[in-house]
Amino acid sequence: MKPDTSSPRAVAQDWLQKFELAISQSSPAALEGLFNPDCHWRDVLALDWEIITHSGASNVCQSLRKAAPRHAPKNFKINEQRMPVQWVKRTDVETIEVFFDFQTTVGPCEGIVRLATQSGSPALKAWTLMTALVEISGHEERFKRKAKLSDGFGRSFLGPNWLEKREKEARYEDRQPTVLVIGAGQAGLSVAARLRQLDIDCLVIERNPRVGDNWRKRYQALVLHNQRTVNHLPYIPFPDVWPEFLPKDMVAGWFEYYVQAMELNVWCNTEFVTAQFDETSGQWNAHLSCEGVERHLQPRHIIMATGVSAIPDRSPVVGLDAFKGMVLHSADYQSAQQWVGKKVVVLGTGTSGHDVSQDLCEHGAHVTMVQRSPTMVQNVEPTAQLPYVLYGQGIDLAECDLITVGTPMALYRASNRINLKLALELDKETLGGLSQAGFRLNKGEDGNNWQMMYLTRGGGYYFNVGCSELISQKRIDLIQAQDIQHYEAKGLRLKSGDLLEADLVVTAKGYLGQSAMVEKLFGKPLAEKVGPIWGVDDQTQEMCNMWNPTPQQGLWFHAGSFAQCRIYSKYLALHIQACELGLVKH
């Protein structure tokens, strides 16, 4: 219900004034009167050292009254330089969206409040509130203090130049890194860039020979499945002249450039072996193999940046050992050229299974996909891009990111359901063709669109870039896993009695989550101590053990899409900075 008001700004200003007064006086009645019954407050390090969401007016107000005295928030002011106060529609709800700034004893903060009506009442009250720390006063990012800093690179012809100093710094011959980051993908590089700007000594290690190899070495046809405008890294956006959907080798090259431009310390050809935490010193004893040479480091923090799906699932396929042809995991697949005219079976219908099958088919291989379970399919354009519509509306990236941070999980779920309904309509023709070909579709019967599937299970969907049409047209054959009787030397024996011959079997079983990586590197006891990683925590309504302190002191996790890595690297770096400054104990 949209009330009759011609001045959203006046409404917003009145709410902020009453809100500041209520929290300063710790008045339960006054505070609760400002919130709708079905409301959410997401705090991102502003009033407490945690990323957490509280829901329901009573819980929100109780949590605000408990948290506010710690950091003494004050001086709440609308910020219309960032975004005008205006009516917008969020998950089909008409709301006044307000960007605001405020101060705490820690530093400047920002937030978004959405004012809406509920239960038939015309009163505009807070539907969602987000508060986030911008920076710690006196410890701002380097580029903001540049005028006050000496770069140490005068025009003298004596002494080392910039490159020589950078090379010496990266060798860590006479010091220990404060933070050790495992993995130089978008997660590792984004948080390393943030830490660098906060003057926190950070070393990134990468097992591949070159930065970017985690993309460069993947199959030849790989292109990102979401648009460039969403995928920027912190501080340096991709060039506007680049294509909307970036090929893997452009991304790989950019990562190498980014390391140099952001002056990041990276060791390639370096394997993280294991580490033990010393409770007395508050440091890790980390064991590395650097180009075959054993190295030991004592960082205070380790950030796991190895990805949502860290380890290829190479668990045996029952009976496949009877097959005498070539077997590859999709992670090891490079190109179709040696399989032209050959018979290939691809086990799996997730993204990797589809992309490998399409590459093989279009190069002239005879491909059969084996489906184990229903898969959600959406066309890459426009359907799969629906969650990113905000980023294509001409709003600056920083504002888009803040709106994203200001969207609690409950709104994500609601938006997810709206997008799912629209996706099923937009992709009706594609889905119909797949069904006729015998493809079993996950149509979001649990209410989850692809975005929530990603957040809760890390996959289970495919963005169609042409493979669905190949299946519908029977250019790629399809069988169901339950139709296989057994494997034998020349291929798959079906329950019908037919033999499906194969020269190559590609197992596209997906990847194991980060818990498997933690157990591999740190041991089972520590993995059990940390608990689930990724997925949604029902209590905090946040991602499990992501970007927040974990049960293991000094161990952090950073992963996700380019956008998630860009956005949450800021808050992870700020939290580590607060630990180093003694403002908070992990």
- Name the residue type at position 117: T
Q: Is the Cβ–Cβ distance between 129 and 39 less than 8 Å?
A: yes
The model's pTM? 0.93
Cα–Cα distance measured from residue 450 to residue 427, given in angstroms and rounded to the nearest whole number: 14
Q: What is the mean pLDDT of residues 468-495?
A: 97
Instruction: Evaluate if residue 365 carries a pLDDT over 60.
Output: yes
Instruction: Evaluate if residue 485 carries a pLDDT over 60.
Output: yes
Q: Is the Cβ–Cβ distance between 172 and 299 less than 8 Å?
A: no
Instruction: Evaluate if residue 575 carries a pLDDT over 80.
Output: yes
Asked if 168-310+514-526+555-580 and 317-509 have one fold, the answer is yes
Tell me the pLDDT tens digit for each residue of 192-232. Answer: 999 999 999 999 999 999 999 999 988 777 888 889 999 99
Instruction: Evaluate if residue 260 carries a pLDDT over 50.
Output: yes
Q: State residue 570 phi and psi, 5-degree precision.
A: -60, -45
| Third-level CATH fold of 168-310+514-526+555-580 | FAD/NAD(P)-binding domain (3.50.50)
Domain formed by 317-509, architecture: 3-Layer(bba) Sandwich (3.50)
Comparing CA positions, the residue from 447, 383, 374, 441 lying closest to residue 412 is: 447
**Beta-bridge mates of residue 203:** 180, 265
CA angle 516, 520, 523 (to 5 degrees): 105
- pLDDT at site 146: 75
Which stretches within 523-585 are classed as H helix?
524-530, 562-580
Phi-psi sector, 538: left (phi>0), alpha (psi -120 to 50), beta: alpha
DSSP 3-19: ---S-HHHHHHHHHHHH
- Listed by start position, the domains of the chain span 8-133, 168-310+514-526+555-580, 317-509
Comparing CA positions, the residue from 413, 409, 443 lying closest to residue 428 is: 443
Which stretches does DSSP call E strand in 342-433?
343-347, 366-371, 376-379
Q: What is the mean pLDDT of residues 279-293?
A: 95
- pLDDT at site 153: 57
Per-residue CA distances from 12 to 56, 97, 212, 406 (Å): 21, 9, 46, 16
Instruction: Evaluate if residue 521 carries a pLDDT over 80.
Output: yes
Q: What is the mean pLDDT of residues 248-255?
A: 96
Cα–Cα distance measured from residue 186 to residue 388, given in angstroms and rounded to the nearest whole number: 18
Binned at pLDDT 50, 70 and 90, residue 6 comes out as low
Q: State residue 393 phi and psi, 5-degree precision.
A: -105, 15
Does an H or E element contain 560, and which?
none
Tell me the pLDDT tens digit for each residue of 107-147. Answer: 999 999 999 998 777 889 999 999 999 999 999 999 998 76
- pLDDT at site 369: 98
Q: Which of 77-91, 193-207, 215-229, 295-309 has the lowest mean pLDDT?
A: 215-229
Q: Is the Cβ–Cβ distance between 266 and 183 less than 8 Å?
A: no
- pLDDT at site 466: 94
Cα–Cα distance measured from residue 528 to residue 545, given in angstroms and rounded to the nearest whole number: 13
- pLDDT at site 1: 46
- pLDDT at site 28: 87
- pLDDT at site 56: 96
CATH for 8-133? 3.10.450.50
Instruction: Evaluate if residue 586 carries a pLDDT over 70.
Output: no
- Structure-model confidence comparison of residues 138 and 509, the more confident one: 138
Most distant pair of Cα atoms in the chain: their distance: 81
Residue matched to tokens 């203090």: 145
Cα–Cα distance measured from residue 477 to residue 464, given in angstroms and rounded to the nearest whole number: 17
Other Cβ atoms less than 10 A from the Cβ of 317: the count is 16
Q: What is the mean pLDDT of residues 177-188?
A: 97
